[in-house]
Amino acid sequence: MVGEGPVRSTGLPGDFRVLGAFRGGRRRHGIVRSGLGGRSRSPDAGSVLRGGGAWCGAPALDGGPLSLLHIEMAQRYRHAVGSADPFHKGLENGVLRATECPECGSTWFPPRQFCDADLSETTWYDLPGTGRIVAATRVHSPPPFGGIDVPYILASIRLDGVDGGITHRVVAEEIPERGTVVAVTFSNRQPAHPLLRIAFVVKEVTA
Ligand SMILES: [Zn+2]
């Protein structure tokens, strides 16, 4: 049996805590140090240090159990959205936006900057924010960026007013049938991902 011992303060500088790792009642020892990636022994050599940073190894050459690692990482990204800026401004202002070719009238969602038929630069326009379910399922694992409680309903949605659609969350208890009319809703909170500003709700059941 491998388990965790009590976590207690070490009194060492930095974000250290002591975690004991044991198996079969025999406590093993190892050192993990957060932040700087260094390694050190505690005075009584009776603890595994851990923190929110990098793990630097724990001795297991004697056949003892490996220490359990508890690693928490937080990454902050800053992306330039470039030509998609009107789309992201639309998310902030409560509107879905698509693009249209001024020459041939083709439309796109997700938006494209150039028409793939005649290479004309497209123009932006607002969508009504409604659509119809093409297919839906219940998802039991969260997206990698988090921010959604599981399980949740994920659906492929053909949007009204554009030749395209989106696969996104539908706020519903039951899996909606194909053809169900949904409408986009916007959240004011700052989500983990910009597209989490939106979700869809059932507007009209047509099936
Ligand atoms: Zn075109």
Residue ending a domain, choose from 40, 67, 94: 67
Question: Given this model, what pLDDT does residue 85 score?
Answer: 94
pLDDT of residue 112: 96
pLDDT classification of 147: cutoffs 50, 70, 90? confident
In this structure, are 99 and 151 located in the same domain? yes
Name the domain boundary from 13, 40, 67: 67
For the record, the structure tokens of 105 come out as 């009238």
Considering the domain architecture, whether residues 42 and 88 belong to the same structural domain is answered as no
pLDDT score for 77: 83
Question: Is 72 inside a domain boundary?
Answer: no
- Other CB atoms within a 10 A radius of the CB of residue 82 amount to 7
Q: Are residues 99 and 196 in the same domain?
A: yes
| Same-domain status, 63 and 86 | no
Do 108 and 166 fall within a single domain? yes
Residue 167 falls within a domain, yes or no? yes
All residues at 6 or more sequence positions from 167 whose CB lies less than 8 Å from its CB, including other chains? 154, 155, 156, 157
**Is the residue at 144 inside a domain?**
yes
State the DSSP code for 89.
Answer: H
Closest CA to 131 of 152, 174, 162, 105: 162
**Ligand 1 geometric centre to CA of 103 (Å):** 5
Question: Do 93 and 158 sit in the same domain of this protein?
Answer: yes
Number of domains in the chain: 2
Instruction: State the distance from the centre of ligand 1 to the C-alpha of 97, rounded, in angstroms.
Output: 18
DSSP state at residue 102? T
At 69 the pLDDT is 83
Ligand 1 centroid – CA 135 distance (Å)? 29
Q: Is 104 in the same domain as 179?
A: yes
**Within-domain flag for 77:** no
Start-to-end Cα distance in the chain: 53
What average pLDDT does the segment 159-183 reach?
A: 97
Residues 173-198: pLDDT tens digits?
999 999 999 999 999 888 878 888 99
Between the CA of 144 and the centroid of ligand 1 the distance, in Å, is: 36
Burial 116-127 (b: 16+ CB within 10 A, else e): eeeeeebebeeb
Cα of 162 from ligand 1 centre, angstroms: 14
The lowest-confidence range among 28-42, 84-98, 149-163, 164-178 is: 28-42
Mean pLDDT, range 148-167, rounded to an integer: 96
Integer Cα distance of 153 and 185 in angstroms: 15
**Residues contacting 74, CB < 8 A, separation 6+:** none
* pLDDT exceeds cutoff 70 at 13: no
Sorted by sequence, the CB contacts under 8 Å of residue 27 that are 6+ apart come out as 5, 20, 21, 46
Whole-angstrom distance, CA of residue 21 vs CA of residue 46? 9
Mind listing the pLDDT tens digit for each residue in 121-144? Answer: 999 999 999 999 999 999 999 887
List 114's β-bridge partners, or say none.
121
Same domain (yes/no): 134, 193: yes
Note whether 114 and 152 are same-domain residues.
yes
Residues 47 and 103 in one domain: no
Compute, in angstroms, the gap from residue 86 CA to the centroid of ligand 1. Answer: 20
pLDDT in tens, 23-82: 443 444 444 333 333 344 443 333 344 444 344 455 567 777 777 888 888 888 888 989
> Are 104 and 185 in a shared domain?
yes
Measured in angstroms, how far is the CA atom of residue 105 from the centroid of ligand 1? Answer: 6
Nearest partner of 54 among 67, 73, 41, 40, judged by Cα: 73
Q: How far is the CA of 107 from the centre of ligand 1 (A)?
A: 9
How many Å lie between the centroid of ligand 1 and the Cα of residue 167? Answer: 25
Ligand 1: distance of its center to the CA of 99 in Å?
Answer: 11
Q: Which domain holds residue 119?
A: 82-204
